[in-house]
Structure 1
């Protein structure tokens, strides 16, 4: 059975639509995070992104040896990924949206083999879950960004004379100090937030560095997208424009080498496996 091609009508319109969805998703994430105490007015679970997170859902279920109904929404994420591919990475993930805002585009001399690191991290997390531990879940981007903002950013802003009073009444997550002595709690907060800080710093080397090389959630979505119903297809003509314009640092050299030998199916697979934004580049890369 042949999979259908994903054809984009207008590259500019598609790009703006994606940016709009990213903005709305990030704004909703920020609002729900800030309103973690009390109702949010939308009738949405405050931890909706965590519930949609297949890595967190599977790891928690395996570690607890219990079917956690809270994570049933991950079936929606899995279903969407199996239909259209890595939409989560390019459209929904708040970490990816933040990392899209700055940093140099394209590859900056980072070895391509480093892309495999995220799969080793993923398998380590799953192996620990089998042993009943979620100790490495702080490497999950959703967990890292929540803990980073709640454990470091919010407390820092709360101490600023002008901003602090404006934040009165907002409450991000249950304080770690409720379960540990203050010095130890501070250490835990900074240790977890360090992952978020590292994500931001690595983006100075290459835009979406974390997404392409280290993100275990991205690895999970990437593995699922191998069976996506809609996939990018490569045409014989016009394979050169993406050399300069790819926004996600796809392995363009390997792509062009395969396409030049007529191996278009393999070239399409290479794009899908190495580029989390394959639904974005259709207006440039055929």
Structure 2
């Protein structure tokens, strides 16, 4: 059995900083091994799938900043099913707390498809722009047509730069849910206004109709000074259906879609996963999705 010295703490051969440095060293070695193993896994996948694609952006030799990969089946499907893409980064899936960023499409059977997956360390314009440019290059320069996301200005800037012709819209449920934090009590005291608001937003079929109905609502209930309603109106082109009814947006209710997808993802991955573990579990999930389509 090991014997422990009874000498005073000051005589010990190390200090707390030494322990901290040693732990940092082990973390660096672990990250480096994880990155190398993940690259090796992708290279092995590429041997059996000529259309497999991956890119990893490093800050240094052991620090992944961005990553994107996609299998050949998904790349081929994208050519015919690029009408609308849901891009959701609201779920953390690895030990480095990097949000996963799948590109989700929809097939002719109303089933969700994954057109590859990205990881972003910094949710800023630079990170999103790199990811979108990598996606576009992977897909042979064939840009997506419509994209729906959560409300994020950094993401919007990246989309405008890389996909300038795409119609970009925000998740209506997410916007309404956020607005209800202040509108909820306001509507509770004004049930008729709440009913008129829902009719105006959900049942207006043209731009002229929504603008006429909204103006009438504001004047009838004298709510010109409500900041939340004013903010919603200023952003109306991004979430009110009448403004993009002629475009293909099957993911208008993205909250249900993305939450459902995340629920499935949780069966396969854990926030404690390494990069390699996540990549392998993503492959398992993708095979299940392709099997369901068949």
TM range (shorter): under 0.3
Task: Give the TM-score taking structure 1 as reference length.
Answer: 0.27
Higher relative contact order structure (alpha carbons within 8 Å, sequence separation ≥ 6): 1
Please say which structure displays the higher CA radius of gyration: 2
Question: Where is the strand percentage greater, Structure 1 or Structure 2?
Answer: 2
Task: Give the TM-score taking structure 2 as reference length.
Answer: 0.27
Question: Where is the helix percentage greater, Structure 1 or Structure 2?
Answer: 1
